[in-house]
């Protein structure tokens, strides 16, 4: 099934965006990276809109705004739960819930049906999501109830984003994504502006809000985490200057917008249940780039996850 291949490609692009965002978050505040990425993605989508087309309607605009709200909720909850930790448990939990929520919606509400191979592919994909989301070196401790609730909420919000986007009409094209990204840009931009105003009132430079003031937990405009894989590399190799970090955040936003567009195409071509399962494999792109660019070692369990991701993609494509 073509939609499965497109969704898998979209997951890799999502992971690539998160990798760049994670690098930027080593020098800039995570909320700043999110705001810059959201604005860059908005510009990219607006420029692509005349080329790819899209019919404006009140319903699709509303769905786009609602999707943007889901994205903001996902960012807030994911940032909070990963700050509490342990990331080795909460990050994969978020990814699994983000796949299961729209998967159940597609199967139970939309009435989607799959072949036995398709159902097997969904199961393999969920196992792969857990394995590729594993964070090597993270001390495994029992997560708090609060962290688990936030992780589940973040995953549900990411899944809600997919469910809402799936409600839009085929004729809408990129319109829902433009409205979603516009919503994210306004909210995150307002937050950064508020931090800058507060800094000036305390007698500090407004630009001081750009810099990391606490351990970085990279969270993307879509509500994805960068999984902190890049934190394993020596600081001297991953700590960019502010200007370079801003460029990385801009590139992250463009790639994230492209991933959203690819995901939308996958939804138009196939079933929500399949697209959600494969989109949740986005950490694969992050860890592969970390291995290629930063020479990081991929853990054995992650290699197993990557292999299962390919198996899941093949099963869903055939089924």
pLDDT recorded at residue 138? 55
With left for phi above 0 and alpha for psi between -120 and 50, is residue 285 left, alpha or beta?
alpha
pLDDT 10s per residue in the chain (319 long)?
688 889 989 999 988 888 888 788 777 887 888 889 999 999 999 999 998 888 999 999 999 999 999 988 887 887 777 667 676 677 778 888 888 999 999 998 988 888 888 889 889 988 988 887 766 665 556 778 888 888 899 889 989 999 999 999 999 999 999 999 999 999 989 988 898 888 888 888 877 777 766 555 545 544 555 444 434 444 444 455 788 888 988 999 999 999 999 999 999 998 999 999 888 888 788 778 878 887 777 778 888 888 888 888 888 877 6
Residue corresponding to tokens 């796949």: 99
71 φ/ψ angles, rounded to the nearest 5 degrees: -60, -40
Q: How far is CA 169 from CA 57, 58, 271, in A?
A: 9, 11, 14
pLDDT recorded at residue 238? 45
| Distance in angstroms (rounded) separating the CA atoms of residues 280 and 128 | 9
DSSP code, position 172: G
pLDDT recorded at residue 179? 96
pLDDT recorded at residue 296? 73
pLDDT recorded at residue 228? 46
DSSP code, position 233: S
Q: Is the peptide bond before 86 cis (omega within 30 degrees of 0)?
A: yes
Q: Using an 8 Å Cβ cutoff, are 129 and 302 in contact?
A: no
| Distance in angstroms (rounded) separating the CA atoms of residues 188 and 221 | 9
pLDDT recorded at residue 30? 78
With left for phi above 0 and alpha for psi between -120 and 50, is residue 17 left, alpha or beta?
alpha
With left for phi above 0 and alpha for psi between -120 and 50, is residue 295 left, alpha or beta?
left
Residue 109 exposed, middle or buried by CB count within 10 Å (0-12, 13-18, 19+)? exposed
C-alpha R_g of the chain: 19
- CA dihedral for 208, 211, 214, 218, sign (positive or negative): positive
| Distance in angstroms (rounded) separating the CA atoms of residues 258 and 16 | 11
pLDDT recorded at residue 155? 87
219 φ/ψ angles, rounded to the nearest 5 degrees: -130, 130
Q: Chain-centre distance of CA 120, in angstroms?
A: 25
Residue corresponding to tokens 């700590």: 239
Q: How far apart are the first and last CA of the chain?
A: 7
Residues 67/70/76/79 CA torsion (nearest 10 deg): -80
**Which neighbouring-strand residues pair with 219?**
225
| Distance in angstroms (rounded) separating the CA atoms of residues 195 and 200 | 9
pLDDT tens string 32-66? 888 899 999 999 999 999 988 889 999 999 999 99
Residue 60 exposed, middle or buried by CB count within 10 Å (0-12, 13-18, 19+)? buried
Structural tokens at position 181: 């990204």
Q: Using an 8 Å Cβ cutoff, are 15 and 286 in contact?
A: yes
């Amino acid at each position: 099934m073509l939609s499965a291949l497109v969704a898998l490609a979209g997951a890799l692009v999502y992971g690539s965006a998160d990798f760049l965002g994670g690098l930027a978050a080593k020098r800039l505040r995570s909320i700043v990276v999110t705001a810059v990425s959201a604005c860059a993605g908005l510009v990219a989508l607006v420029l692509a809109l005349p080329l790819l087309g899209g019919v404006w309607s009140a319903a699709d605009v509303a769905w786009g705004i609602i999707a943007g709200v889901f994205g903001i909720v996902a960012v807030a909850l994911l940032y909070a739960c990963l700050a509490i930790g342990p990331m080795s448990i909460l990050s994969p939990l978020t990814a699994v819930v983000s796949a299961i929520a729209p998967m159940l919606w597609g199967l139970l509400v939309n009435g989607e049906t799959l072949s036995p191979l398709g159902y097997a592919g969904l199961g393999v994909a969920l196992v792969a999501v857990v394995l590729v989301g594993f964070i090597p070196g993270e001390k495994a401790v029992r997560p708090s109830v609060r962290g688990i609730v936030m992780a589940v909420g973040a995953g549900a919000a990411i899944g809600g984003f997919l469910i809402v986007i799936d409600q839009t009409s085929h004729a809408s094209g990129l319109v829902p994504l433009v409205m979603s990204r516009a919503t994210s840009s306004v909210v995150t931009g307002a937050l950064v502006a508020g931090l800058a105003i507060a800094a000036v009132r305390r007698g500090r430079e407004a630009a001081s809000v750009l810099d990391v003031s606490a351990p970085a937990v990279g969270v993307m405009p879509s509500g994805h985490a960068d999984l902190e894989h890049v934190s394993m590399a020596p600081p001297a190799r991953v700590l960019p200057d502010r200007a370079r970090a801003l460029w990385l955040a801009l590139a992250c936003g463009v790639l994230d917008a492209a991933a959203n567009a690819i995901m939308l195409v996958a939804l138009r071509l196939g079933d929500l249940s399949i697209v959600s399962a494969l989109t949740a494999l986005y950490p694969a792109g992050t860890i592969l780039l970390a291995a290629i660019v930063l020479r990081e070692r991929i853990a054995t369990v992650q290699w197993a996850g990557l292999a299962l991701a390919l198996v899941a993609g093949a099963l869903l494509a055939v089924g």
